[in-house]
Structure 1
């Protein structure tokens, strides 16, 4: 069955095509199909990834509104819906507006950055990419923590459709040192001398930067590269040292068991200082 994007979005939210908005279909949003056989993404179902143009995806993310999570999720899903993936039509049914809640660390709460929230949401529905899906998520998180962002080379700025003049609105790049929005924004504010309400261009470029990097990682994984071997796919030496005592299966003495790969010393000062 062939469906266009408008029809897909109408059906996925369960609206009657006979009287749109009049009634909701009483089936789960994750059911494989509804009573009329219209496709719906099922819980646990995965869709085929194919390599994308990283810069074109970054440009779409930059041009897309709705906050950082929506920018990244929408741009990659849209590119896949327009790709030669065997599941392109299924990607087209995904209502990317659902990602709109992720701005500023989930509706302004300053928690997980929407760019990373989008990465998890996206990769969770991708079919196995040479066993590297988890590694791509880990590498994305570590990259966000440790890289000086947003990307600011002349080539990248031009590629996403921005300008050198708008770079003045960014002020400075910065290292988040955490997957949390408030850490990222605070470090950028300290580096640039700007306040939260001035983050517009900076965060648009940050989403473009993450969309670009996520696609690059997915493309490399698709090509057979072992992403888990990349330095950026692993926790820092400091975080690994913490894990030696605060383990998942065993701990050192009375130490608490902890499951995380994020930077520890961003929030915790440690035991010896």
Structure 2
């Protein structure tokens, strides 16, 4: 048997330790979404695989989930994907959905971007390419929120999400937001129903369920190959398109300001020719 002296032994030990350290560093680098403890973390720019979900089951989960509208939408879809046959189901399980809790009432009560839409943007942004329709899904859900009488009121939908006809009285009236802002959405609902902001609970629970249902339907249709961007509801209204003729993102007419938005314009701006 070959013998080695103390210096040779130390050299071998140092060499092995150095190699092990190098392997550890390489492992962390090679798996950028894994932290130093070997735990998975979603990396910036990483995309996860979507698979079709049951729209009503997901809407029901959103309705039964607390934490505000943004959390309801984000949590319900991520949770359903974590329980699905997606190749990334385990990665969806690792996402801390509680981080979406800030979006209630237009970002911690500020009345700005509705939490439903905030959640949709955050969710679709981490989904892998769905036949090139991800941006169109976001556009369609934003336009749907602006221009659709919500929350949904059919008996089938109310039963499907686990609510009751008796609770419908708490909603007052459905209404059109005419904006992506919580402020406009709540104001128009209050005017239609005669109820104050403090009474919005059932209405907003059903609104989150309604938006979740529509979102999952769109994602499923995109997954099946439908061109969501070609749907009329994915484009700005004719009034907003008219505004974009002068107020473009790359060029303007005369002294007109450059604007980047597809949201409804006339909700806040009366226009130049009224």
Q: State the TM-score, normalized to the length of structure 2.
A: 0.88
Describe how 1:9-48 pairs up with structure 2 within 5 A: 32-48=33-49
Describe how 1:46-125 pairs up with structure 2 within 5 A: 46-125=47-126
Q: Structure 1, residues 17-60: CA drift from partner, whole Å, max 9, x if none?
A: xxxxxxxxxx9xxx611112211000000000000000000000
Looking at structure 2, the residues matched to 195 and 148 of structure 1 have their Cα atoms a distance apart, in angstroms, of 19
Tell me the residue number matched to 1:234: 235
Looking at structure 2, the residues matched to 268 and 33 of structure 1 have their Cα atoms a distance apart, in angstroms, of 48
Q: Which runs of 4+ in 1 moved over 6 A?
A: none
Looking at structure 1, the residues matched to 147 and 270 of structure 2 have their Cα atoms a distance apart, in angstroms, of 18
Looking at structure 2, the residues matched to 250 and 179 of structure 1 have their Cα atoms a distance apart, in angstroms, of 25
Describe how 1:104-183 pairs up with structure 2 within 5 A: 104-183=105-184
Looking at structure 2, the residues matched to 151 and 237 of structure 1 have their Cα atoms a distance apart, in angstroms, of 25
Q: Secondary structure of 2:165's match?
A: coil
Structure 2, unmatched stretches of 5+, are 1-27
Could you tell which deviates more after superposition, 194-203 or 31-40? 31-40
Tell me the residue number matched to 1:16: none
Q: Secondary structure of 2:218's match?
A: helix
Shift of 1:121: 0.3
1:243 and 2:240 correspond: no
Tell me the residue number matched to 1:11: none
Looking at structure 1, the residues matched to 37 and 227 of structure 2 have their Cα atoms a distance apart, in angstroms, of 42
1:207 and 2:201 correspond: no
Tell me the residue number matched to 2:222: 221
Q: Secondary structure of 1:165's match?
A: helix
Shift of 1:204: 0.1
Q: Structure 1, residues 83-127: CA drift from partner, whole Å, max 9, x if none?
A: 000000000000000000000000000000000000000000000
Shift of 1:249: 1.2
Tell me the residue number matched to 1:194: 195
Q: Secondary structure of 1:142's match?
A: helix
Q: Secondary structure of 2:146's match?
A: helix
Looking at structure 1, the residues matched to 147 and 222 of structure 2 have their Cα atoms a distance apart, in angstroms, of 21
Report the structure, 1 or 2, having the larger helix content.
2
Looking at structure 1, the residues matched to 39 and 188 of structure 2 have their Cα atoms a distance apart, in angstroms, of 47
